[in-house]
Amino acid sequence: DWTSDMFIDNTVAELKAKIGSDKVVMGLSGGVDSSVAATLIHRAIGENLTCVFVDNGLLRKNEYEEVLESYKTLGLNVIGVDAKQRFYVALAGISDPETKRKAIGRVFIEVFDDEAHKIDGVKWLGQGTIYPDVIESVSVKGPSATIKSHHNVGGLPDFMKLSVVEPLNTLFKDEVREVGRALEIPETIIGRHPFPGPGLAIRILGDITEEKVKTLQEVDAIFIQGLKNHGLYDQVWQAGAILLPIQSVGVMGDERTYERVVALRAVGSVDGMTADWIHLPYEFLGKMSNEIINRVKGVNRVVYDISSKPPATIEWE
Ligand code: XMP
């Protein structure tokens, strides 16, 4: 029978034998998979693992600071890179979803490659690939793992000439979570909803500006905190907010407003391949709508997405 403790002991021993005294570099996303993979590799080789966590300016509100802090608490040797402006510049004026994904993938590789070059004599690239990624390495709309699936973007960056080490590539998500708990990784990381590599970029329909990112971060933070406060977060597989590329008329006091519309989305799923919209309580939705419209400047309307996958997808882009 499989137990997480046995898996950890075996994997750490295998990693030690395989990597020896070589150096490993690994990109962290803040998600469950890369965090668990990094912690396992760190158990095996300690300081010879260098982790890179990139702020692409498309993360949730305060996520960069909070996640970086948890990584440090875990004892990981992690380099945080603030690359927000590089991503915003690369994304300026782009509205097409796939073009956004490609631009983000390209800049990520540039930023990561720069960091990997600073590590003397690195031989391995650590990755948080899990078993479902191995079978289904490209999702319906495109790449689901940031590094792995962008091989075809121009010439191969140097870090891709590294040997790959993927300690989780035989596990399913629930097993990864079990291993993570056994490794005492905080529940804030283990219980986290999935979040796409391109981040908020694919939840801002149309072109991306820093101002739109800030607006969506505020809306998303209210919604996610609301789900947590009402005990709904763990009942949802994935949730978030979408900034629509339209304005609608509203009224505030005696004034007519003409402001943005946001959509809220919450789905249940097992693996993201199919998903059902969640019947969140009306009272909760009403509260969220009030809070968002009262607190977020420039938003005067909130709608709830009641589409399931298929035929809709979880993300709007
Ligand atoms: P869809 O929208 O295709 O999403 O129903 C299924 C799952 O995949 C995530 N997703 C992505 N993850 N890069 C990622 O790393 C992407 O380009 C991407 N597109 C969608 C989505 O958040 C959901 O969990």
Residue 38 within any structural domain of the chain: yes
Q: Decide: 234 and 272 in contact? Cβ < 8 Å.
A: no
Ligand 1 environment, Cβ below 6 A: 101, 139-144, 194, 196-198, 238, 272, 309, 313-315
Helix/strand/coil (H/E/C) assignment for every residue in 228-253: HHCCCHHHCCEEEEEEEEEEEEEEEC
The Å distance, Cα 139 to ligand 1 centre, comes to 7
Same domain, 176 and 289: no
The mean per-residue pLDDT over the stretch 12-38 comes to: 96
Q: What is the pLDDT of residue 146?
A: 42
Q: Decide: 112 and 147 in contact? Cβ < 8 Å.
A: yes
Same domain, 182 and 52: yes
Looking at 133, 156, 190, the residue that finishes a domain is 190
pLDDT confidence tier of residue 1, bands split at 50, 70 and 90? confident
CATH code at 249? 3.30.300.10
Q: Which domain holds residue 52?
A: 4-190
Residue 185 within any structural domain of the chain: yes
Work out the number of other CB atoms within 10 angstroms of the CB of residue 251.
Answer: 9
Residue to mutate, 54, 315, 317, ligand 1, most ligand atoms under 8 Å from C-beta: 315
* Burial (Cβ within 10 Å: 0-12, 13-18, ≥19) of residue 121: exposed
Residue 203 within any structural domain of the chain: no
Residue 197 within any structural domain of the chain: no
Same domain, 243 and 145: no
Q: What is the pLDDT of residue 157?
A: 66
Q: Structurally, how many domains does the chain consist of?
A: 2
Q: What is the pLDDT of residue 136?
A: 63
Q: Give the span between the Cα atoms of 237 and 299, in whole angstroms.
A: 26
Same domain, 176 and 100: yes
Residue 200 within any structural domain of the chain: no
Q: What is the pLDDT of residue 150?
A: 38
**pLDDT tens readout for residues 91-146:** 999 999 999 999 999 999 999 999 999 999 999 999 999 998 887 654 444 444 44
Q: Give the span between the Cα atoms of 220 and 224, in whole angstroms.
A: 6
Residue 34 among known ligand-binding residues: yes
pLDDT confidence tier of residue 212, bands split at 50, 70 and 90? very high
Does pLDDT of 156 surpass 80?
Answer: no
ipTM confidence score: 0.99
How far apart, in Å, do the first and last CA atoms of the chain sit? 41
Looking at 161, 190, 219, the residue that finishes a domain is 190
DSSP H helical ranges for 20-150:
32-45, 63-73, 84-91, 97-117, 131-135
Atom number, ligand 1, closest to the C-alpha of residue 146 = 15
Residue 143 within any structural domain of the chain: yes
Same domain, 77 and 143: yes
Say what the pTM is: 0.90
**pLDDT tens readout for residues 66-83:** 999 999 999 999 999 999
* Long-range interactions of 180-183: CB distance < 8 A, separation 24+: 180/32, 180/35, 180/36, 180/39, 181/4, 182/4, 182/5, 182/8, 183/8, 183/36, 183/39, 183/40, 183/43
DSSP structure class, residue 97: H
